Amino acid sequence: MTPAAGISGPIGAMLLGGAASLVCYGFVGSLKNRLRLDDSLDVFGIHGLGGIVGSIGTAIVALPALGGHGGPDYSPWWQLVRQIAAVGVAIAWSAAGSALCFALVKAVLPLRHARDAEREGLDIADHGERAYNY
């Protein structure tokens, strides 16, 4: 809902929040595991997809019929094209920045621990002690 906070009415906000919640939950709850993605804190599943749905949905919730603040000459289709283009730019910018950071870190440090260390637990591998006593 954050991308549309200034232009949405209450009905549009509830619809957009519900749609984004369903998309995020569907991804995190099942699709992420089926695709075997390593998104341990669900950053993409929650913030990435939620932001994409919210940004694209901004064009819809601005409709005056939903209580939005679109003017009398508001064109939801033209705004939808603009929102999709903006999401594409944001994805490209984030991908480029992430790739640059990934390359810089990889040049200095290993990106992952050895598989055996991950299975044993990083508390033992890194600190030589168990984090929990059970």
pTM of the prediction? 0.80
Sorted by sequence, the CB contacts under 8 Å of residue 9 that are 6+ apart come out as: 61, 66, 67, 68, 69
- Residue 29 within any structural domain of the chain: yes
- Residue 111 within any structural domain of the chain: yes
Mean pLDDT estimate for the chain: 91
Residues spanned by the domain of 92: 2-127
- Residue 71 within any structural domain of the chain: yes
Q: Which of 25-29, 68-72, 90-94, 105-109 has the lowest mean pLDDT?
A: 68-72
- Residue 47 within any structural domain of the chain: yes
Number of domains in the chain: 1
- Residue 132 within any structural domain of the chain: no
- Residue 83 within any structural domain of the chain: yes
- Residue 133 within any structural domain of the chain: no
Alpha-carbon gap, residue 6 to 17, rounded angstroms: 14
